[in-house]
């Protein structure tokens, strides 16, 4: 959780407790204080589950080093024609490598797209089998989602994927360890333009470009809905980022630069 979110959480729960006290100051003062303390404690436990930069529950890659103007494009929730096809066409034309975190169930429906990603030099990772929110999964269900997603991808690629991204970026204290036990590194992101909001291609491109920093991992989507705006935004943001001096690298290259 970034600092502004943390402050908003503390203030919001405090106001909630204050409102409870104001409704009945004689009988509920202790209850309101206790509820606030409990909410703060729960927030402290859950923060590392949703904070894409947190390493508390296991090492994740959310960005690369800040000493070079490089960044990595990543795509979630595919493969999903026709948007995945069009994204691959833009990347090929612009000679930009990327990473695709695929759902096992959809990869099985469109194996030709997964093989095309691999053939055209992109990194292909797993995004679980069914896009389950692992924050709400017990360890057994979580491991099945991760394992089945990896197995589905391996059947298509001929090798097990080495990279994993949990849906929504949410993970439990055991998620990263389960992925690591299966030989996968967990990747999150540092630059998220929220393309699922469909604000328009120019707005999406501007969100990425304006907040771009050296070492960024950019989160976009090729599946999970209408991604035509994402395709159009790519055609804008790639040349604009290059004009700003950025170079596009694959996620694993960014990770290699992060290692001491």
Answer yes or no: do 9 and 88 share one domain: no
C-alpha distances out from residue 105 to 69, 111, 128, 154, 215, Å = 36, 10, 9, 12, 31
Answer yes or no: do 139 and 208 share one domain: yes
Answer yes or no: do 138 and 117 share one domain: yes
Residue 231 falls within a domain, yes or no? yes
Domain holding 27, by residue range, is 3-50
Answer yes or no: do 46 and 78 share one domain: no
Catalytic residue among 122, 127, 221, 222: 221
Mean pLDDT by 10 residues, the chain (260 residues): 48 57 56 58 72 93 95 98 98 98 98 98 98 96 98 98 97 96 98 97 98 98 98 98 98 78
Answer yes or no: do 103 and 36 share one domain: no
Catalytic residue among 76, 77, 195, 222: 76
Query: 127 an active-site residue?
Result: no
Query: For 157-196, what is each residue's pLDDT tens digit?
Result: 999 999 999 999 999 999 999 999 999 999 999 999 999 9
Answer yes or no: do 45 and 65 share one domain: no
Residue 55 falls within a domain, yes or no? no
Residue 77 falls within a domain, yes or no? yes
For 238, the token pair is 């790639």
pTM of the predicted protein model? 0.86
Q: What is the pLDDT of residue 36?
A: 53
Query: 76 an active-site residue?
Result: yes
Answer yes or no: do 253 and 190 share one domain: yes
d(C-alpha 209, C-alpha 137), whole Å = 35
Closest to 100 (Cα-Cα) out of 61, 133, 126:
126
Question: Alpha carbon 226 to chain centroid distance?
Answer: 18
Residue 38 falls within a domain, yes or no? yes
Residue 84, domain CATH: 3.20.20.370
Q: How many domains does the chain have?
A: 2
């Amino acid at each position: 959780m970034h600092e502004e979110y943390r402050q908003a959480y503390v203030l919001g729960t405090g106001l909630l407790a204050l409102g409870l006290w104001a409704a009945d100051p004689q009988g509920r003062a202790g209850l309101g204080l206790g509820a606030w303390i409990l909410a703060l404690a729960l927030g402290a436990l859950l923060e590392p589950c949703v904070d894409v930069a947190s390493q508390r529950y296991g090492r994740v890659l959310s960005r690369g080093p800040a000493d070079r103007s490089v960044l990595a494009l990543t795509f979630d929730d595919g493969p999903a024609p026709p948007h995945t096809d069009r994204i691959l066409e833009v990347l090929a034309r612009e000679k930009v490598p990327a990473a695709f975190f695929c759902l096992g169930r959809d990869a099985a429906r469109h194996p030709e797209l997964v093989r095309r990603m691999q053939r055209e030099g992109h990194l292909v990772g797993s995004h679980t089998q069914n896009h389950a929110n692992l924050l709400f999964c017990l360890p057994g269900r979580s491991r099945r989602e991760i394992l089945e997603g990896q197995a589905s991808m391996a059947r298509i690629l001929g090798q097990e994927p080495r990279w994993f991204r949990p849906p929504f970026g949410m993970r439990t204290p055991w998620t990263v360890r389960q992925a690591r036990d299966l030989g996968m590194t967990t990747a999150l992101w540092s630059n998220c333009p929220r393309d699922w909001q469909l604000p328009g291609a120019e707005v999406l491109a501007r969100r990425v470009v304006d907040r771009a920093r050296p070492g960024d991992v950019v989160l976009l989507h090729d599946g999970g809905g209408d991604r035509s705006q994402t395709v159009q935004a790519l055609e804008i943001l790639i040349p604009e980022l290059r004009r700003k001096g950025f170079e596009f690298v694959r996620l694993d290259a960014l990770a290699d630069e992060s290692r001491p």
